[in-house]
Structure 1
């Protein structure tokens, strides 16, 4: 006999949709920075732009894992797939490494509110990971 299909709770669509928008912006930010988009980067001080564009390749790779991992996690969440949790967990770890590196780099320029924004991003990713794990345990994700 086949397993009965659980109806998708309404909150999956709300959380999944909002997280998709949030994480799509993270990917957009990464893409605009990586391609050195002049119009996008214009509001930032030159010192900060120079720092970003001269980061080691491994830092770019970790940043990419963070933002694109979360985007894929949001898509997996909307598709009700259990691999949403490992994607969000990998994204959290990548963000933690990336942000930790920039916060401990004595040569890194700082911006007002940088620490607070980093904490907000980490909190959102952690909550999304925990949410996906909770849904997995409730057999909402397959």
Structure 2
């Protein structure tokens, strides 16, 4: 069964989006906190205090999303549970950021905008893959 051109466009955009997430994770996880503290002491403090389980959730979110996007482009239904795992990772990671830190008090409600966009895209890619699987386009 052939797929519409939009499938390839959406799939490539999702892969690039998830690869940007991987790059962000690598940059944040490996950041020189002493150097970062000179320009953004609050973020340096937050990164230093972030527990391993929150970093793991972040890694799972971007890793599962990236693998899901690759499998989507390969037309594999295994993309669906990977995208769901990515959603769970996003929720756990940002749950930590908003519940266990003073992020909203320090940065204000606008600090929630980009995390909300990330969650919306994560949900979109999961629902998109589920829809394609239901149509028999992913197997």
Query: Do they superpose with TM above 0.5?
Result: yes
Looking at structure 1, the residues matched to 38 and 74 of structure 2 have their Cα atoms a distance apart, in angstroms, of 37
Written as runs of structure 1 = structure 2, the 5 A alignment for 1:104-123 is: 104-108=99-103, 110-111=106-107, 113-123=110-120
User: Structure 1 stretch 55-64 or stretch 98-107: which is displaced more?
Assistant: 98-107
How large is the RMSD of aligned CA atoms in angstroms?
A: 2.1
**Structure 1: stretches of 5+ with no match in the other structure:** 1-5
Aligned equivalents of 2:88, 2:57: Cα separation in 1:
9
Give the Cα separation in 2 of the matches to 1:134 and 1:124.
15
User: What displacement does 1:35 show?
Assistant: 1.0
Cross-structure match for 2:56: 61
Q: Does residue 51 in structure 1 map to residue 46 in structure 2? A: yes
The runs of 4+ residues in structure 1 deviating greater than 2 Å are 40-44, 106-113
Higher helix content, 1 or 2: 2
2:72 — aligned with what? 77
Instruction: For 1:14 and 1:82, locate their aligned partners in 2 and report how far apart those are by CA, in whole Å.
Output: 18
Q: With the length of structure 2 as denominator, give the TM-score of the two structures.
A: 0.88
Deviation digits for residues 112-137 of structure 1 (CA, Å, limit 9, x no counterpart): 53211111110000011000000001
- Alpha-carbon distance in structure 2 between the residues aligned to 1:81 and 1:118: 28
Whether the 8 Å contact between 1:23 and 1:71 is mirrored in structure 2 is yes
TM-score, normalising length from structure 1? 0.86
Cα shift at 1:50? 2.3
Give 3-state SS (helix, strand or coil) of 1:99's partner. Answer: helix
Offset, 1:36: 1.2
Residues 76 and 83 in structure 1, CA contact (< 8 A), matched pair in contact too: yes
